[in-house]
Amino acid sequence: MKKHRKSSKKQLSKKIGMPPGSLIYVGDMDADVSKMPKPTVTLVAYDAAELTETQLSDDDLAAFDLSAFTRAGKKVWLNIHGVHDAAVIAKIGTLFELHPLVQEDILNTEQRPKIDEFNDYVFLETRSFKYDKANLTMDSEQVSFVLGHDYLLTFQERSTGIFEPVRTRMRATKAHIRELGLDYLAYALLDSAVDRYFSVLEEMVDTSEDLEERLLSNPTNTELHMIHHLKHVSMELRRAVWPLREVINNLTRNESKFFKPATLPYLRDVNDHTVSFIESLESIRDSLSGMMDIYMASVSQRVNLEVRALTVVTMLFMPATLISGIFGMNFVHMPWLEEKDGFWWAMSLMGTIAIIMVIIFRRRQWLSSKK
Amino acid sequence: MKKHRKSSKKQLSKKIGMPPGSLIYVGDMDADVSKMPKPTVTLVAYDAAELTETQLSDDDLAAFDLSAFTRAGKKVWLNIHGVHDAAVIAKIGTLFELHPLVQEDILNTEQRPKIDEFNDYVFLETRSFKYDKANLTMDSEQVSFVLGHDYLLTFQERSTGIFEPVRTRMRATKAHIRELGLDYLAYALLDSAVDRYFSVLEEMVDTSEDLEERLLSNPTNTELHMIHHLKHVSMELRRAVWPLREVINNLTRNESKFFKPATLPYLRDVNDHTVSFIESLESIRDSLSGMMDIYMASVSQRVNLEVRALTVVTMLFMPATLISGIFGMNFVHMPWLEEKDGFWWAMSLMGTIAIIMVIIFRRRQWLSSKK
Amino acid sequence: MKKHRKSSKKQLSKKIGMPPGSLIYVGDMDADVSKMPKPTVTLVAYDAAELTETQLSDDDLAAFDLSAFTRAGKKVWLNIHGVHDAAVIAKIGTLFELHPLVQEDILNTEQRPKIDEFNDYVFLETRSFKYDKANLTMDSEQVSFVLGHDYLLTFQERSTGIFEPVRTRMRATKAHIRELGLDYLAYALLDSAVDRYFSVLEEMVDTSEDLEERLLSNPTNTELHMIHHLKHVSMELRRAVWPLREVINNLTRNESKFFKPATLPYLRDVNDHTVSFIESLESIRDSLSGMMDIYMASVSQRVNLEVRALTVVTMLFMPATLISGIFGMNFVHMPWLEEKDGFWWAMSLMGTIAIIMVIIFRRRQWLSSKK
Amino acid sequence: MKKHRKSSKKQLSKKIGMPPGSLIYVGDMDADVSKMPKPTVTLVAYDAAELTETQLSDDDLAAFDLSAFTRAGKKVWLNIHGVHDAAVIAKIGTLFELHPLVQEDILNTEQRPKIDEFNDYVFLETRSFKYDKANLTMDSEQVSFVLGHDYLLTFQERSTGIFEPVRTRMRATKAHIRELGLDYLAYALLDSAVDRYFSVLEEMVDTSEDLEERLLSNPTNTELHMIHHLKHVSMELRRAVWPLREVINNLTRNESKFFKPATLPYLRDVNDHTVSFIESLESIRDSLSGMMDIYMASVSQRVNLEVRALTVVTMLFMPATLISGIFGMNFVHMPWLEEKDGFWWAMSLMGTIAIIMVIIFRRRQWLSSKK
Amino acid sequence: MKKHRKSSKKQLSKKIGMPPGSLIYVGDMDADVSKMPKPTVTLVAYDAAELTETQLSDDDLAAFDLSAFTRAGKKVWLNIHGVHDAAVIAKIGTLFELHPLVQEDILNTEQRPKIDEFNDYVFLETRSFKYDKANLTMDSEQVSFVLGHDYLLTFQERSTGIFEPVRTRMRATKAHIRELGLDYLAYALLDSAVDRYFSVLEEMVDTSEDLEERLLSNPTNTELHMIHHLKHVSMELRRAVWPLREVINNLTRNESKFFKPATLPYLRDVNDHTVSFIESLESIRDSLSGMMDIYMASVSQRVNLEVRALTVVTMLFMPATLISGIFGMNFVHMPWLEEKDGFWWAMSLMGTIAIIMVIIFRRRQWLSSKK
């Protein structure tokens, strides 16, 4: 959590005063860009009949000719891992004639999800999340889509596996997905990214349920900080998904010429999922607020029990102490003092009073440790 | 409550990476799909003159011919119980040419209420609730409607009895409802489902009133958790009814070609009910917040009383203890010590001080257990 | 309050499963419908020249002929008290050709304020309130209006006197109101109902000011519950007036053909009143929240004072007790013990320390009961 | 504050049951209308060349002829002080043909700011405020404008001096304001009224800053009530300025034919001021909420310190008391008792323990009065 | 913080009663206008080929002829520092024919960000911030833009360095920025100002993270006031950026004729930044609320620990004190008293009980200072 926010901070000052469209990688600052693995560019060219997957070298990329594929009726999907290498992004940017601001946005991995429609392509940004349940932290990865008429580009820093299920479906012979257009592929990848959100949500619900149980038994400072952290995480998710919802909502209104009407029902489906996700998130936030209240009530309750313990102790000892004081007075004429069993009588008196008190306290349920 | 949320969670991860339109039952995970009762398909064919109810076997379903009924001027209502059987749903889907996503939505029993209008039919999803007052939990069931020009399909996992009153009305001779179209039947069933919400609401109000009374007398941790649970339940209801309101609101604006203008006043009536329901829910939520405040105030108040009890005890014993200490000093020359009744004088002094204090405390109303 | 909500609850379950338009009285359940007074139907027929008021018997109602009045240029206002009698409502419904749902809404006295425009009449529902200051409860009554081209119908369960001022104005010779149309009459009655809201508001402000003063002097649990109750009442008022505002706002936009343009400025005036009412209500709610905060602060403050009292007592007695303990030690060689005035010296020491402490405490203002 | 609200209350019930347009003064109830000073009507007739100010008597008013001025190319501004005199308002109402509801609104001095456009004039209502810093109360005065094609009417109960700066500017020779139209004059007066709001705001900020400083040093109940009062005042201001913003916003959209396009930039300027005012108000409200939190935290903190004081006292005396008790035991064989310096040894022991404790407490910073 | 608000206050009352368009400097009141440095006017005239920067004297300004530059194909940017000198602003206002209200707005340095489009130019106001981390205060500076067809004017009181990066880029030979229009320059300067916001944000995040850590270890009053101050600062930022967002949003909708379509993607980029900034600010505010909760919980927790300490001390000493009291009683017949080791037996008894208690307390984790 903290790490994420820190990097998000560093990255921003780095850009101040730069001309717009400056290609500078903005991401995790602890990592040394020069030591990061070389970016990999994977070409998936397919039609209904066959599919080829090729890892493109720098030379391949330089010699890349989209029109060759288009003429052959092939659909082209280029997936780029490692967006820290501004040179590669610039090369691809030139190849597909991407606006400088689009290139900048791909490199700046702390962008807000958004959609920008240009004449020749639509640019779409979203985020992928990974929740670390043990540390209550969350890693997020930016995923950028560029959908043109004959190609689809996807950009990520690290492989997060969110595209894997789609790739598997594509490799199958007679895969329905290969018969459909690139807009359907873009949808399928987006859908896969949104599905991933739900697994993050599940883990948050798990943590939140654990938390709820622990709050009921014995709330400590740890629970307080867990609540605080979960709130933070849910807030961050919300900030990423809320604009995404707008983006997808825009798409479902068929305002983009890059998505065919036949794909719209599917986009509406993703839209339903994001709305449902946001509602679940709200529900978690609400639940966390409730837990905060329970925590505060528990702390107050405990002050109560501590004071009661003090009261009980004081009440149990005070009468006995007074009796011992009374028989310690130095009056010449005092009852019981010269009696043979006087001492034991006094002790019995103390004991009796204590026992009566214990009985009274038990009746008032003052001795049970629970309220 | 907890069970519900858990199942809602499991269900989601099951779908990750699946192609859209995959027919997989998504519902209560604790149940073994293979051991669930076989789905039943009930055909109700009717016109103003007569009504026939038939339980369709698998073979009947395979041989089902809608046009036969249409030609005979019969309206057809198919009610399916047991949506866990993907095969049956697929069969019906093929029969009525339902979009793969619609079939998927019917199987996925954790959908958000929504309306999707297609060329040949309108698809509508809503939820039915059952509130378990004893455990403060709530079971929910998804109810799907498909309204075509000549048929109405309804899908549920279990029979919840919400359609029973409508069925009874239909069976009556000369039933007005049989003279009207299928859109009116769809309205009647929807209305029946919404009516059920109000009985849930009533039980929540009951619980909430009990809670309020208990809070006034002796609030404990149990009440705190009841408040928390009720909030949760009301939130869940809200999440189901809010989108339903939009759905029905859409219908009332006569945007759907499947509902006749004559049915619109009835839909507006359902709309009024859902709005009224949401307002009552908000009122319960507000009331629960107020109870939370009262609970917190009560806990603080009780700390107050405990401290006061401690103060009173301390004040009652301290003077007596001091007096006994004074007469326990070993001075050679001390008053009262050699007097015959000195001891009793000292005891009287202690007693008198204690009595005066009790009088003062009573005047200040410090001895009453209530504030 | 409680009673009201209970009845509101009962009423709802009674309707479940009923066909829409079923004429069943839904209102206060504690009352036995058969024992309720017979409904009275009052006919007011008037033009600029004269006004006649007649109580219609069942037979009169059966023989009622609206066109006779219309031909004579008379405007007709029928006021019905006692909407529990479904038969009478049905009779009038038939006479004026009211939609079954309108008849149902008139009988169901727990409706949300609304406006429904039909071809031949506009149907309007609102509520009238009566605030019982002593018990902090509120009774509400449903008032339904049906405004046709030549008639105005008004329905209430009990006479609440809200129409009385208008009636008085109508009876006056040369009453301006008699020269104007039925839409103006409807406005006048509605205005009278809204005016009544302000008298409820005044009483709430009174209660709330009393409450505020009591909170400043000596807040107890009673004040807490009063705050809770007032919040409840204000919430209920809000739920009734908010939809009414929409209704009237609709009318002011001249969307209804039943209200003449000349009446619009008057409707705008009522609209201003409802907006102003809602704002005052918000202001009361805000004020109640502030009181809750003050209450909580007071309770915390009091814990504070109790603890201080305990501290002061402990501090006053502890040194004296220690001194008495010291001179009670059994050392052979101890100062003062054998002195003639040793005892008094010791007593003086105790007294001196106590006096010094009291002086210190007074300076720190620890002995004042107020903070 | 309280006084204001009370009068606002009284005034409302006075009107219940009245026909609309009834001319009854609704304002401060404590004042006796018959004893209030006679209303004064001031006529300001001007053109670019000259300006005449005349106090109109009742007879002057009766003989007033607007067309005479219009023919002479003079612009006419009538300012009326003392709106409690319904007769004068009625006379002016007749003279300028004002709608009965407008006349009623001028008399009812507790109206919400609003704008009503009629065929021959536009009617505008706003409020002027005066903040009494010492008592934290606020007086408000209603200011009504009627802007016709050739005249401007302004109505107030008391002279509040808000028009004075404008009057001074008008009296100057070659005053730019005299060359411009009546709409500009209306704007100038409105602007002057809005400027006054800012001086109220300044005083509130002053009070709020004082409050903040006092909260930091030594918060008491007084501060709590000051917070409560300031909230109240800010709420009341908000209720007056919020609708005013809408009114002015309407005007800036050039929807009124009574304001010339050249005046629009000036109206936009006033609009900016009201928006800025509302934001400052929100900022004060936010700040007050923060203070409430600080107050609550301070009270809790103080409980803390009180308990600590108690703990420290108890810990300092308990060991000494135990030691004195031990040497007061009556064992035959006890150490130190017969030693010559035994008593002093015991006393030293007590002192040493106390000193060690003080050192420990000081290290833990338990003896500082601040946390 | 405080200083800022105070000056904002003073400035406002200074203007009351002034005619609109009065040229009076409204800014920091502590500074003496006559002692402030003379305003400097810097002329930057450029085309793609070359760029000249000249400091204009008063005479230069008087002789300034825009058309000379326009004819030469030069773009003109005038940057004015020191807006306190009304004479200079008036001179420039006359030169470029600025509306009196625009001139007034430039001088009034406490304006809300806004955009006003006139026939010949567009006027835009924004704020620049400087956060003083040590004192948690924030200085703000108003930056005004006037963009005409052939010129750009910028106004600030003090140089804040926000234009420096842009200037540096312009001075480079073959600078791309010099080839583009003045609208792009205006965008670049605005972008630079918005970038500065992010550095303020970073410092706030830093402070907030420090705060969070300190809250976890040992929260004191200082942290409480830091939270309060940060909230204040974030609120002020929000008030400045929220209207700016609207301004930029307006520009991106291509409603201004002064911005070319080619510049729109860049404006959309700034728009994205402001939206992202606002969201980060919301996130900080949310986080601060969470900290407030943690603080309150910590204070309650500490009361808890203090009471426990008191309870433990009392429980440890009370039995021993009672035992010493018992053996101090003066009974003739008492056990142990005459035994040789009786005293030590008693002491052991006291010690044993104390040790047993310590063991019990340790098991219950009552002796750990943390919960």
Give the pLDDT score at A17: 60
User: If we measure between CA atoms, which residue out of B236, B235, B230, B234 comes closest to residue B215?
Assistant: B230
Report how far residue B243's alpha carbon sits from residue D158's, in angstroms, rounded to the nearest whole number: 54
Task: State whether residue A331 sits within 8 Å of chain B by CB.
Answer: yes
Report how far residue E100's alpha carbon sits from residue D265's, in angstroms, rounded to the nearest whole number: 10
All residues at 6 or more sequence positions from B163 whose CB lies less than 8 Å from its CB, including other chains: B79, B154, B189, B192
Other CB atoms within 10 A of residue C87 CB = 10
- Kindly state the helix (H) or strand (E) to which residue E169 belongs, with its residue range: helix E164-171
Confidence of residue C188 (pLDDT cuts 50, 70, 90): very high
Q: Is the pLDDT of residue E352 over 70?
A: yes
Q: Is the pLDDT of residue C27 over 70?
A: no
Contact assignment for E188 to A19 by CB distance below 8 Å: yes
- Poorest-pLDDT segment among A264-273, B39-48, B139-148, B361-370: B361-370
Q: Is the pLDDT of residue D12 over 80?
A: no
Q: Does residue D118 contact residue D99 with C-beta atoms inside 8 Å?
A: yes
By percentage, how much of chain A surpasses pLDDT 70?
Answer: 91
pTM: 0.80
Give the pLDDT score at A16: 59
Tell me the mean pLDDT in the region E70-86. Answer: 91
Burial class for D129, CB neighbours closer than 10 Å (0-12, 13-18, 19+): buried
Q: Does residue A115 contact residue E268 with C-beta atoms inside 8 Å?
A: no
Q: Is the pLDDT of residue C19 over 60?
A: yes
Q: Which of C165, C202, C266 sits opposite D17 (nearest CB)?
A: C165
Give the pLDDT score at E31: 57
Confidence of residue D78 (pLDDT cuts 50, 70, 90): very high
Q: Is the pLDDT of residue C178 over 70?
A: yes
Q: Is the pLDDT of residue B371 over 80?
A: no
Of the two residues C98 and B32, the one the predictor is more confident about is: C98
Query: What b/e sequence results for E30-69 when a residue is b if at least 16 CB atoms lie within 10 Å of its CB, and e otherwise?
Result: eeeeeebeebebbbbbbeeeebeeeebeeeebeebeeeeb
Instruction: Report the largest interatomic distance among the alpha carbons of chain C, rounded to a whole angstrom.
Output: 125
Per-residue model confidence as pLDDT tens digits over A197-232: 888 888 888 888 888 888 877 777 788 888 888 888
Give the pLDDT score at A356: 93
Per-residue model confidence as pLDDT tens digits over D206-235: 888 888 888 877 777 788 888 888 888 888
Interface test with D, best of C211, C212, C293, C331 (most D CBs within 10 A): C331
| End-to-end CA, chain B | 37
Give the pLDDT score at C31: 57
Q: Give B-chain residues touching A176 at CB under 8 angstroms.
A: 19
ipTM of the complex: 0.76
- Poorest-pLDDT segment among A31-40, C332-341, D298-307, E257-266: A31-40
Burial class for A218, CB neighbours closer than 10 Å (0-12, 13-18, 19+): exposed
- SS3 assignment, position D157: coil
Per-residue model confidence as pLDDT tens digits over D331-360: 988 888 888 899 999 999 999 999 998 898
Give the pLDDT score at D14: 53
- Kindly state the helix (H) or strand (E) to which residue E299 belongs, with its residue range: helix E264-326
Give the pLDDT score at B16: 59
Q: Give E-chain residues touching D303 at CB under 8 angstroms.
A: 303
Give the pLDDT score at C28: 57
Q: Is the pLDDT of residue B1 over 50?
A: no
Per-residue model confidence as pLDDT tens digits over E118-133: 889 999 999 988 888 7
Q: Is the pLDDT of residue C96 over 60?
A: yes
Give the pLDDT score at B31: 57
Report how far residue C243's alpha carbon sits from residue C112's, in angstroms, rounded to the nearest whole number: 7
Highest mean pLDDT among A248-252, E26-30, E152-156: E152-156
CA angle C208, C211, C215 (to 5 degrees): 140
Give the pLDDT score at E6: 40
Q: Is the pLDDT of residue B48 over 80?
A: yes
Q: Which of C195, C318, C321 sits opposite D17 (nearest CB)?
A: C195
Tell me the mean pLDDT in the region B350-369. Answer: 83
Report how far residue B212's alpha carbon sits from residue B290's, in angstroms, rounded to the nearest whole number: 10
Give the pLDDT score at A32: 65
Q: Give A-chain residues touching B329 at CB under 8 angstroms.
A: 330
Q: Is the pLDDT of residue E312 over 90?
A: no
Q: Is the pLDDT of residue C79 over 90?
A: yes
- Kindly state the helix (H) or strand (E) to which residue E219 belongs, with its residue range: none
Task: State whether residue E285 sits within 8 Å of chain D by CB.
Answer: no
Report how far residue E312's alpha carbon sits from residue E365's, in angstroms, rounded to the nearest whole number: 12
- HEC readout, chain C: CHHHHHHHHHHHHHHCCCCCCCCCCECCCCCCHHHCCCCEEEEEEECCCCEEEEEECHHHHHCCCHHHHHHCCCEEEEEEECCCCHHHHHHHHHHCCCCHHHHHHHHECCCCCEEEECCCEEEEEEEEEEEECCCCEEEEEEEEEEEECCEEEEEECCCCCCCHHHHHHHHCCCCHHHHCCHHHHHHHHHHHHHHHHHHHHHHHHHHHHHHHHHHHHCCCHHHHHHHHHHHHHHHHHHHHHHHHHHHHHHHHCCCCCCCCHHHHHHHHHHHHHHHHHHHHHHHHHHHHHHHHHHHHHHHHHHHHHHHHHHHHHHHHHHHHHHHHHHCCCCCCCCCCCCCCCHHHHHHHHHHHHHHHHHHHHHHCCCCCCCC
Tell me the mean pLDDT in the region A1-18. Answer: 47
Query: Residue A294, CB half-sphere, CA atoms under 13 Å: how many?
Result: 28
Tokens at residue A365, please?
Answer: 């349920």
| End-to-end CA, chain A | 37
User: β-strands D75-81, D40-46: how paired?
Assistant: antiparallel
Helix axes C100-107, C86-95, angle to 10 degrees: 150
Give the pLDDT score at C5: 39
Report how far residue B319's alpha carbon sits from residue C314's, in angstroms, rounded to the nearest whole number: 10
Report how far residue B25's alpha carbon sits from residue B16's, in angstroms, rounded to the nearest whole number: 13
Contact assignment for D297 to E300 by CB distance below 8 Å: no
Contact assignment for D195 to E17 by CB distance below 8 Å: yes
Per-residue model confidence as pLDDT tens digits over A94-145: 999 999 899 999 988 888 899 988 889 999 999 988 888 787 788 888 999 9
Give the pLDDT score at D305: 80
Which amino acid type is present at position C270? V
Contact assignment for A329 to B346 by CB distance below 8 Å: yes
User: β-strands D75-81, D151-156: how paired?
Assistant: parallel
Give the pLDDT score at D229: 86
Q: Is the pLDDT of residue A5 over 50?
A: no
Q: Is the pLDDT of residue B297 over 70?
A: yes
Confidence of residue D23 (pLDDT cuts 50, 70, 90): confident
Confidence of residue A33 (pLDDT cuts 50, 70, 90): low
- SS3 assignment, position A79: strand
Give the pLDDT score at E36: 75
- Poorest-pLDDT segment among A281-285, B347-351, E234-238, E252-256: E252-256
User: If we measure between CA atoms, which residue out of D134, D331, B272, A123 comes closest to residue E349?
Assistant: D331
Contact assignment for A325 to B321 by CB distance below 8 Å: yes
Task: State whether residue E164 sits within 8 Å of chain A by CB.
Answer: yes
Give the pLDDT score at B289: 87
Helix axes B182-217, B164-171, angle to 10 degrees: 140
Give the pLDDT score at C10: 42
Q: Give E-chain residues touching A225 at CB under 8 angstroms.
A: 216, 294
Report how far residue A321's alpha carbon sits from residue B309's, in angstroms, rounded to the nearest whole number: 19
Confidence of residue D31 (pLDDT cuts 50, 70, 90): low
Q: For chain C, what is the mean pLDDT? A: 85
Tell me the mean pLDDT in the region E286-302. Answer: 85
User: If we measure between CA atoms, which residue out of A315, E294, D318, A303 comes closest to residue C307?
Assistant: A303
Report how far residue C62's alpha carbon sits from residue C66's, in angstroms, rounded to the nearest whole number: 11
Q: Is the pLDDT of residue C77 over 90?
A: yes
By percentage, how much of chain B surpasses pLDDT 90?
Answer: 31
Q: Is the pLDDT of residue D306 over 90?
A: no
Tell me the mean pLDDT in the region D263-281. Answer: 90
Q: Is the pLDDT of residue C13 over 90?
A: no
- SS3 assignment, position E345: helix
Give the pLDDT score at C349: 94
Interface test with B, best of A177, A323, A330, A364 (most B CBs within 10 A): A330
Confidence of residue E360 (pLDDT cuts 50, 70, 90): confident
Task: State whether residue A296 sits within 8 Å of chain E by CB.
Answer: yes
Confidence of residue C41 (pLDDT cuts 50, 70, 90): very high
Q: Which domains does chain E have, with CATH numbers?
A: 2-296 (3.30.460.20), 303-363 (1.20.58.340)
Per-residue model confidence as pLDDT tens digits over D143-169: 999 999 999 999 998 887 889 989 998
Contact assignment for E195 to A15 by CB distance below 8 Å: yes
Report how far residue A280's alpha carbon sits from residue E271's, in angstroms, rounded to the nearest whole number: 29
- For residue A129, list its beta bridge partners: A140
Q: Give C-chain residues touching D321 at CB under 8 angstroms.
A: 318, 321-322, 325
CA angle B142, B148, B152 (to 5 degrees): 50
CA-based torsion, C191, C197, C203, C205: positive or negative:
negative
Give the pLDDT score at E293: 85
All residues at 6 or more sequence positions from E242 whose CB lies less than 8 Å from its CB, including other chains: E278
Tell me the mean pLDDT in the region B289-298. Answer: 85
Give the pLDDT score at D187: 93
CA E166 vs. chain centroid, Å, equals 23
- Poorest-pLDDT segment among A112-126, A321-335, E253-267: E253-267
Per-residue model confidence as pLDDT tens digits over B5-45: 343 444 445 555 667 767 777 665 555 667 777 889 999 99
Give the pLDDT score at C17: 60
Of the two residues B326 and D25, the one the predictor is more confident about is: B326
Confidence of residue D369 (pLDDT cuts 50, 70, 90): low
Give the pLDDT score at C8: 41
The torsion angles phi and psi of D260, rounded to 5 degrees, stand at -75, 150
Q: Does residue B128 contact residue B140 with C-beta atoms inside 8 Å?
A: yes
User: If we measure between CA atoms, which residue out of D41, D153, D22, D127 comes closest to residue D88?
Assistant: D41
Q: Is the pLDDT of residue A369 over 70?
A: no
